[in-house]
Amino acid sequence: MSTLIVVGVQWGDEGKGKVVDLLAREADIIVRFQGGNNAGHTLVVDGQKTIVRLIPSGVLHAGKVCVIGNGVVVDPQILVEEIDALQQRGYLTDSALLKISETAHLIMPYHKAIDLARERLRGEGRIGTTGRGIGPTYEDKMARVGIRFVDLLDEQVFGEKLAYNLQEKNIYLGAILKEQALDYRQIFEAYCRLRQRLAPYVINTSRYLHQEITHGRKVLFEGAQGTMLDVDHGTYPYVTSSNTVAGAVCAGAGVAPQQIHGVIGISKAYTTRVGSGPFPTEQLGPAGEKLRRDGGEFGTVTGRPRRCGWFDAVVVRTAARLNGLTSLALTKIDVLSGLPTIRVCTGYEHHGQYYDEVPASAQVLEGVTPIYEDLPGWAEPLTEIRSLDALPANARRYVERIEHLVGVAVKMISVGAGREETILIRPSFF
Ligand code: IMP
């Protein structure tokens, strides 16, 4: 097996950064294929914390190639800042270790301005976006007015596309959103400076990946956000603007379906969500407080407190089918220590109808009653544990019950933020 996809199977923040960082040891190339700097992957190595937003989480391993695929939307200013910060710490010193797709779309200042202004105007009805311009950039991509890296490389093409877009956006910003107009010269000059910094990394990444996969190199595809935030399959409209499911790798990295060999899903041992939208197992009382406190559940990008609740097998079961999971990694199980009883949602009920998968309507999902099963908890801390056998019996039973309810085998359990704080049930994933 030479390619592996890692996806989140809840609402994002499942701990993908840590798992990708761990799996990157075995990989040669790590690829982002969707999303942008709305993602924030936290990596802890030797007690030192690093947060990456755009560059794949494999970057902390020497000699691994990191690829930003065509499906990613890139804020070039943030990317340059991230490269600088990593280089200052001795990473990414060889420019051959980072490759950016020439057809990835650029997040422009007007995308951010529109994202923020719209959320402000929506008031109570806001989506709770990260405010990074992600949605407006994907909108322009689909409207075929987006600006790609290949356009940025040609100063004249870039200038023309910027002028065309800015004329329209400034009218929209002023007349509809009541925002200030943005200045052409300022954006043009700033982006030309960024072009000089980023041009050495820009290539045809789809072709590059094809060549490398053909030569047997091990490629890891790193998903951002989670399956329930997928624009088609998630809890629409409270979703992000890209496809987050494993199938998005083919379009977002330009890789053919038969070149994909395995899909690992990452799930927390409980559930969290940031932003608005239905969340059937949310706990507003002491249980939710405990999860937020012990799990440090505050957003890496926005710092917002995350909404917390019990493990929802309906969500993960739906995601297992959509992504074709070949295995599951369960993260942050250590956070559950000390709970006398742990609840697991096995299905939903709504007006006499039973749901074993997530219903399409946000209104129905908002109104469902979760059906819970209560499992006995454990008191022991789990952070020092490195094997399945050493887990308290009730923690083992909890893992087995989840496997049974979602129909996928758990092959990795994370018991802390550090690389080493992991129970590896399968020695190799490629
Ligand atoms: P956007 O991606 O900034 O447009 O935000 C849309 C929704 O996706 C909001 O509810 C965000 O909180 C959520 N979201 C976006 N990126 C992430 C992520 O990396 N983790 C968790 N939630 C996210």
The Cα–Cα gap between 336 and 127 comes to 29
Instruction: Choose the final residue of a domain: 153, 180, 198.
Output: 198
Q: Are residues 353 and 327 in the same domain?
A: yes
Quote the strand ranges of 369-409, DSSP E: 369-376
Atom of ligand 1 nearest to the CA of 242: 2
Candidate list 21, 28, 41, 151, residue with the active-site label: 41
Q: What tens digit of pLDDT does each residue of 218-244 get? A: 999 999 999 999 999 999 999 999 999
Helix (H, G, I), strand (E, B) or coil at 35: strand
d(CA 376, CA 393): 10
236 within domain boundaries: yes
Instruction: Tell me, yes or no, whether 134 and 277 share the same domain.
Output: no
Q: Are residues 279 and 335 in the same domain?
A: yes
Cα(358) to centroid of ligand 1, in Å? 19
Residues 252, 314 share a domain? no
| Ligand 1 atom nearest to CA at 276 | 10
Angle among Cα 407, 385, 8 to the nearest 5 degrees reads: 40
Domain of residue 327, CATH code: 3.90.170.10
What is residue 173's predicted lDDT score, i.e. its pLDDT? 98
Of ligand 1's listed atoms, the one at least distance from the Cα of 302 is: 12
Q: Tell me, what CATH number does 86's domain have?
A: 3.40.440.10
Calculate the average pLDDT of the chain.
Answer: 96
Average pLDDT of the segment spanning 358-383? 98
**239 C-alpha vs ligand 1 centroid, how far in Å?**
7
- Show the domain range for 408: 266-424
Q: What is the mean pLDDT of residues 290-301?
A: 92
- SS3 for 191-250, per residue? HHHHHHHHHHHEECHHHHHHHHHHCCCCEEEECCCCHHHCCCCCCCCCCCCCCCCCCHHH
One domain for residues 248 and 329: no
Is 52 near ligand 1, meaning CB less than 6 Å away?
no
> Where is 343: in which H helix or E strand?
strand 341-350
Q: Is 430 domain-assigned? A: no
C-beta 10 within 6 A of ligand 1: no
Q: Is residue 288 part of a domain?
A: yes
- Is the predicted pLDDT of residue 1 greater than 70, yes or no? no
Question: Same structural domain for residues 187 and 214?
Answer: no
Same domain flag for 275 and 225: no
User: Is residue 80 left, alpha or beta, with left meaning phi > 0 and alpha meaning psi from -120 to 50?
Assistant: alpha
426 or 114, which is more confident?
A: 114
323 within some domain: yes
Whether ligand 1 lies within 6 angstroms of the CB of 132 is answered as yes
Of 240, 259, 278, which one is at a domain's C-terminal end?
Answer: 259
Sign of CA dihedral 424, 426, 429, 430: positive
Quick: pLDDT tens for 39-49.
Answer: 888 888 878 88
Tell me the mean pLDDT in the region 281-308: 93
- Choosing from 182, 198, 214, the residue where a domain stops is 198
Burial of 285 (0-12, 13-18, 19+ CB in 10 A): exposed
Percentage above 70 pLDDT, the chain: 100
**Contact assessment for residue 220 and residue 188, using Cβ atoms and an 8 Å cutoff:** no
Q: Is 130 close to ligand 1, i.e. is its CB under 6 Å away?
A: yes
Is the domain of 224 the same as that of 111? no
CB of 385 sitting under 6 A from ligand 1: no
- pLDDT, tens digit (0-9, with 9 covering 90-100), for 304-351: 899 999 999 999 999 999 999 999 999 999 999 999 999 999 999 999
Within a domain: residue 9?
yes
Is the Cβ atom of 231 under 6 angstroms away from ligand 1? no
Distance CA 327, CA 165 (A): 44
Residues 32 and 83 both lie in one domain: yes
Cα of 167 vs centre of ligand 1, distance in Å, is 29
242 and 300 inside one domain: no
- Find the CATH number of the domain harbouring 193: 1.10.300.10
CA-nearest of 141, 158, 142, 140 to 150 is 158
Ligand 1 pocket residue status of 240, Cβ below 6 Å: yes
Residue 429 lies in a domain: no
Question: Could you tell which of 9, 72, 274 is best to mutate to test the pocket of ligand 1, judged by most ligand atoms within 8 Å of the CB?
Answer: 274
Q: Whose CA is closest to atom 15 on ligand 1?
A: 38
- Segments of 9-136 assigned E as strands: 29-32, 41-45, 48-52, 65-68, 73-74, 98-101, 105-106
Ligand 1 atom nearest to CA at 13: 20
Total domains present in the chain: 3
> Has 13 been annotated as catalytic?
yes
Distance in angstroms (rounded) separating the CA atoms of residues 146 and 259: 29
Q: Does the residue 367 lie in any domain?
A: yes
pLDDT tens digits for range 128-147: 999 999 999 999 999 999 99
CA-nearest residue, atom 9 of ligand 1: 129
Residues 167 and 284 in one domain: no
Looking at per-residue confidence, does 400 or 50 come out higher?
400
**pLDDT the model gives residue 40:** 83
Measured between alpha carbons, how far is 356 from 368 in angstroms, rounded to an integer? 12
* Residue 389 annotated as catalytic: no
Indicate whether 413 and 370 sit together in one domain: yes
Per-residue pLDDT at 310: 98
- Span 181-210, pLDDT tens digits: 999 999 999 999 999 999 999 999 999 999
